[in-house]
């Protein structure tokens, strides 16, 4: 089945990109200047405004992998494989940001760049799963077989996400416990800064994902056109 390029997706990516760029220019001000310094963790707490929104974007990316992988296995439409693989790439990008920002936060608070905390370890496992996913995408010789293997891996890989989220309640951990929406008690300045950064990172996620899918669909369309031209040349000789 041929994947047809859709210019509307490019326009969506451009619009989200403009919004994300605007938000990313304002986010440092909201986190570093507008929000007050937290009394216990002091300046180290500022990483919270980038670490947690990155985690939201990470979860969104791997959830999309889960959904589009199921759709691909049900319908075998290469479009769903494109969405799943691009979601894995973007999810892995934000997963890397989560690991790095978490280490920066851990050093002044826990006195170490890394501890084998259940939640941190499960995030690392998730990162390794989707590194393997992308390795299958890059090095598999049979594209159809690779797509099926990756779909299964993407579905099972996402099952690690709920464990990450609830690991602090299931096991003793260094990481702070989950704060539910009704329990959030941040001062207004911190709350607004956190909400702004969270929305900005989700918009950035959407911008990167739609741009990546737009490029990948164009690449598939170009490959299909080249194949058609080669077939015509063979028939004409």
CB burial of residue 54 (10 Å; 0-12, 13-18, 19+): buried
Are 27 and 47 a contacting pair, CB within 8 Å?
A: no
pLDDT at 203: 97
With a CB cutoff of 8 Å and minimum separation 6, the contacts of 216 are: 82, 85, 86
- 105-160 tens-digit pLDDT: 888 877 888 888 788 888 999 999 999 999 998 887 888 889 999 999 999 999 88
Q: How confident is the model at residue 171 (pLDDT cuts 50, 70, 90)?
A: low
Kindly indicate the confidence band of residue 182, based on its pLDDT and cuts at 50, 70 and 90.
very low
Average pLDDT over residues 166-186: 58
pLDDT higher than threshold 90 for residue 54: yes
More confident position, 120 or 209: 209
The neighbouring-strand residues paired with 42 are 38
* Reported confidence tier of residue 167, pLDDT bands at 50, 70, 90: low
Q: Which residues pair with 38 in a beta bridge?
A: 42
Summarised one tens digit per residue, pLDDT across range 25-47 is: 999 999 999 988 888 778 888 99
Q: Three-state SS for 42?
A: strand
Average pLDDT value for the chain? 86
Tell me the pLDDT tens digit for each residue of 183-196: 456 788 899 999 99
Rounded to 10°, the helix 48-75/188-236 angle is: 40
Question: Which residue segments constitute the domains of the chain, with CATH numbers given?
Answer: 7-236 (1.20.120)
pLDDT digits (tens, 9 = 90+) for 68-103: 999 999 999 999 999 999 999 999 999 999 999 988
**What is the pTM for the complete model shown?**
0.86
225 confidence band (pLDDT: 50, 70, 90): confident
Tokens encoding 106: 């851990």
**What does the alpha-carbon distance between residue 158 and residue 164 come to, in Å, rounded to a whole number?**
10
- The span from the CA of 207 to the CA of 93, in Å, is 13
Q: Are 64 and 84 in contact (CB under 8 A)?
A: yes
In the structure, what pLDDT confidence band is assigned to residue 212 with cuts at 50, 70 and 90?
Answer: very high
The distance from CA 181 to its chain's CA centroid, rounded to whole angstroms, is: 22
| Token representation of residue 41 | 């963790």
CB 92 within 8 A of CB 131: yes
User: Minimal CA–CA distance to 24: which of 198, 189, 186?
Assistant: 198
d(CA 181, CA 88): 27
Local confidence band at 210 (pLDDT 50, 70, 90 cut-offs):
very high
Q: What is the pLDDT of residue 194?
A: 93
Helix (H) or strand (E) holding 137: helix 118-139
pLDDT bin (cut points 50, 70, 90) of residue 175 is low
Model pLDDT, residue 4: 56
- Taking the CA of residue 219 as centre, how many other CA atoms within 13 Å lie in the half-sphere pointing to its CB? 10
């Amino acid at each position: 089945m041929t994947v047809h390029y859709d210019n509307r997706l490019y326009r969506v990516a451009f619009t989200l990109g403009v919004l994300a760029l605007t938000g990313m220019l304002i986010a440092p001000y909201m986190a570093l200047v507008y929000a007050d310094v937290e009394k216990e963790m002091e300046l180290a707490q500022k990483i919270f405004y980038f670490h947690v929104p990155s985690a939201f974007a990470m979860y969104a990316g791997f959830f999309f992998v889960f959904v589009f992988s199921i759709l691909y296995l049900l319908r075998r439409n290469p479009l769903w494989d494109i969405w799943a693989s691009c979601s894995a790439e973007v999810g892995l990008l934000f997963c890397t940001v989560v690991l790095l920002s978490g280490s920066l936060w851990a050093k002044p608070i826990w006195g170490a760049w890394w501890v084998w905390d259940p939640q941190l370890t499960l995030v690392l496992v998730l990162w390794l799963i989707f590194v393997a996913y992308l390795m299958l995408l890059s090095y598999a010789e049979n594209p159809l077989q690779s797509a099926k293997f990756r779909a299964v891996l993407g579905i099972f890989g996402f099952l690690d996400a709920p464990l990450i989220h609830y690991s602090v309640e299931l096991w003793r951990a260094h990481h702070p416990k989950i704060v539910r929406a009704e329990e959030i008690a941040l001062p207004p300045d911190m709350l607004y800064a956190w909400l702004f950064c969270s929305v900005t990172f989700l918009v950035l996620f959407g911008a990167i994902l739609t741009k990546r899918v737009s490029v990948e669909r164009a690449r598939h369309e170009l490959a299909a056109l080249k194949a058609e031209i080669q077939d015509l040349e063979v028939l004409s000789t």
